[in-house]
Structure 1
């Protein structure tokens, strides 16, 4: 049997597939899916510049992606890939998710 971990690149369909085809198993319901990425600016109703990746568990996050930053004398591990970007995209994405919610996206 194959035990190859899977990364799902859901950049284009991550905001569509769960609502159009909820029975389609492409996500963490599959045991070998270890990470999924989504672009918030593609169908997430936010301007370009927001995206994220979600790992199934902390153990699935590769150590090579974790940066250790000494901030005010304390070690602060982070896996943020862009250190000097504003937070407006994150706030806008959060607002849209809270404002519209799951039920609105389920309307055919």
Structure 2
């Protein structure tokens, strides 16, 4: 049986879990209260850092779910995403509107990647 690696475990959750050749990231957010561009850049930087710690990178992302406080910010978020995503290896992606943990958060990014 393969082992389970937990990255940045806390009392409530781990920021990433690696098992069976896959990496699951917790929802990543940016600086609370910042604009959508800044929050998206921050969240994607967290994704990059956690994937690197797990021995992977954005070219190995299989699926991304993006929750937004308001779909009216969809174009602003996509402008950042389009500059960040690996164009040769775009993941499956879904984006939806949801009430996030606090009103100061505008974007949350959830990733599943190959190790």
On whether the aligned pair clears a TM of 0.5, the verdict is no
TM-score of the pair, normalised by structure 1? 0.26
TM-score of the pair, normalised by structure 2? 0.25
Higher relative contact order, chain-length normalized (CA < 8 Å, sep 6+)? 2
Which structure has the bigger radius of gyration?
1
Q: Which has the higher helix share?
A: 2
Q: Which has the higher strand share?
A: 2
